[in-house]
């Protein structure tokens, strides 16, 4: 197996910088669209043969150094008892959002092998087929809580913050339930063969540093400390470049970065005992191939002092992205980082 990615996570020497793209399996690929024509998104997530097929697509087409399980962060939330739907226009919808103690107490804990068996089946298929490592993933407790409390995506997160500030004990109860589910869910993915796991904290950046430290970080710390097995953990707190000192306290071996901070500044805040992942603005892929190469070179240079570096975008690849530019990006990383 090509273990360049795993070595970079551990801060060991690599022949070149490994690269993958968040949301690398998705709508920008005609091959993905073709599978999606036949099934809706949730069915795709729950059908191991198809989920494995679309997981492999970007590895074959872009030549990335890692695969990421095809699924969604809201899959375990549905298993906790909330009704989930994906609408083409509005994104995810969770019915009967969690707003009071009755709805918190109704949430189920999960047994991943029984409640979401398709996830572990997909991982087992992939581990048998892939020549590169497989990343399993979950939403971070705070990000999952925002979807559960708001009932979907949100602009100002008023319901979430109202619960935090007005009924902190209820908020804590909810977070403890979610954290227990995420621990079981990620551990089951590791036990099924995932070589690394990433925790997506997509909405961490809507919190002040004080609130992040009080209402999100303790649960991420507990989660990371609870995972067993020799697998790197990547913590990606989006839009949190102003609080990397706190992000580092999560205990993750790898910290994901978005494009709002230079790698040099990020390394200044993080120090040299964690590896970093990132951090090209996904919109650079709408520029020319020359521009892509120039920006890749800049990021590689900025990462030269890092314990380890995994090249990635600073957030998910966008559906409108030209495939040839995604290919050019992966090629540029491999070529320019070759040692």
Asked if residues 265 and 243 have their Cβ atoms less than 8 Å apart, the reply is no
Q: Which of 7, 10, 36, 260 binds ligand CP3 (CB under 6 A)?
A: 36
- Residues 6+ away with beta carbon under 8 Å from 141: 175, 178, 179, 182, 216, 219, 220, 223
Residue 259 binds ligand CP3 (CB under 6 A): no
Instruction: Give the residue with the Cβ less far from ligand CP3, 50 or 333.
Output: 50
Q: Kindly list the catalytic residues.
A: 23, 27, 36, 72, 147
Residue 311 binds ligand CP3 (CB under 6 A): no
Q: Which of 7, 23, 289, 293 binds ligand CP3 (CB under 6 A)?
A: 23
What b/e sequence results for 294-330 when a residue is b if at least 16 CB atoms lie within 10 Å of its CB, and e otherwise? ebbeebbebbeebbbbbbbbbbbbeeebebebbebbb
Q: How far is the CB of 69 from ligand CP3 (least distance, A)?
A: 6
Q: How far is the CB of 36 from ligand CP3 (least distance, A)?
A: 5
CA distance linking residue 20 with residue 24, whole number of Å: 7
Q: Phi/psi of residue 159, each to 5°? A: -65, -40
Residue 149 binds ligand CP3 (CB under 6 A): no
Q: How far is the CB of 169 from ligand CP3 (least distance, A)?
A: 27
132 vs 2, 63, 116, 168, 316, CA distance in Å? 5, 10, 24, 43, 20
Binding mask 228-247 for ligand CP3 (x = CB under 6 A): ----------x---------
CA distance linking residue 125 with residue 265, whole number of Å: 40
Residue 256 binds ligand CP3 (CB under 6 A): no
CA distance linking residue 234 with residue 224, whole number of Å: 10
CA distance linking residue 317 with residue 320, whole number of Å: 9
Q: Which of 26, 141, 308, 314 binds ligand CP3 (CB under 6 A)?
A: 26
Residue 70 binds ligand CP3 (CB under 6 A): yes
Residue 334, annotated ligand binder? no
Residue number, nearest CB to ligand CP3: 202
Stretch that binds ligand CP3, among 6-14, 71-79, 205-213, 320-328 (CB under 6 A): 71-79
Residue 137 binds ligand CP3 (CB under 6 A): yes
CA distance linking residue 258 with residue 253, whole number of Å: 17
149 vs 98, 165, 328, CA distance in Å? 5, 14, 40
Residues forming contacts to ligand CP3 in the complex (CB under 6 A) are: 22-27, 36, 41, 68, 70, 72-74, 86, 91-92, 137, 153, 200, 202, 238, 316
Binding residues for substrate: 23-27, 72, 147, 202, 315
Binding residues: 23-27, 72, 147, 202, 315
């Amino acid at each position: 197996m090509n273990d360049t990615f795993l070595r970079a996570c551990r801060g060991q020497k690599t022949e070149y910088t490994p690269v993958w793209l968040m949301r690398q399996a998705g709508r920008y690929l005609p091959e993905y669209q073709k599978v999606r024509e036949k099934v809706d998104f949730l069915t795709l997530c729950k059908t191991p043969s198809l989920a494995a097929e679309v997981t492999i697509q970007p590895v074959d087409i872009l030549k990335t150094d890692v695969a990421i399980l095809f699924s969604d962060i809201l899959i375990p939330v549905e298993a906790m008892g909330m009704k989930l739907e994906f609408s083409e226009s509005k994104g995810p919808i969770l019915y009967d959002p969690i707003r009071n103690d009755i709805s918190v107490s109704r949430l189920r804990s999960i047994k991943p092998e029984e409640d979401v068996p398709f996830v572990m089946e997909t991982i087992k298929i992939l581990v048998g087929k892939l020549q590169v490592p497989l990343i399993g993933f979950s939403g971070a407790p705070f990000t999952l809580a925002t979807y559960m409390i708001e009932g979907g995506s949100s602009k100002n997160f008023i319901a979430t913050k109202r619960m935090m500030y007005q009924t902190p004990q209820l908020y804590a109860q909810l977070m403890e339930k979610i954290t227990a589910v995420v621990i079981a869910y990620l551990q089951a993915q590791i036990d099924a063969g995932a070589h690394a796991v990433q925790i997506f904290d997509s909405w961490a950046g809507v919190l002040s540093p004080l609130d992040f430290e009080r209402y999100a970080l303790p649960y991420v710390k507990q989660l990371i400390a609870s995972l067993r097995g020799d697998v790197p953990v990547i913590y990606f707190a989006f839009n949190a470049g102003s609080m990397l000192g706190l992000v580092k306290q999560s205990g993750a071996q790898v910290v994901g970065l978005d494009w709002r901070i230079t790698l040099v500044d990020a390394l200044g805040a993080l120090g040299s005992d964690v590896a970093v992942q990132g951090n090209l603005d996904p919109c650079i892929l709408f520029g020319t191939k020359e521009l892509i190469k120039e920006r890749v070179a800049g990021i590689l240079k900025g990462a030269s002092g890092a314990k380890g570096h995994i090249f990635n975008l600073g957030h998910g690849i966008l559906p409108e992205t030209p495939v040839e530019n995604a290919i050019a990006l992966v090629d540029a990383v491999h070529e320019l980082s070759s040692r």
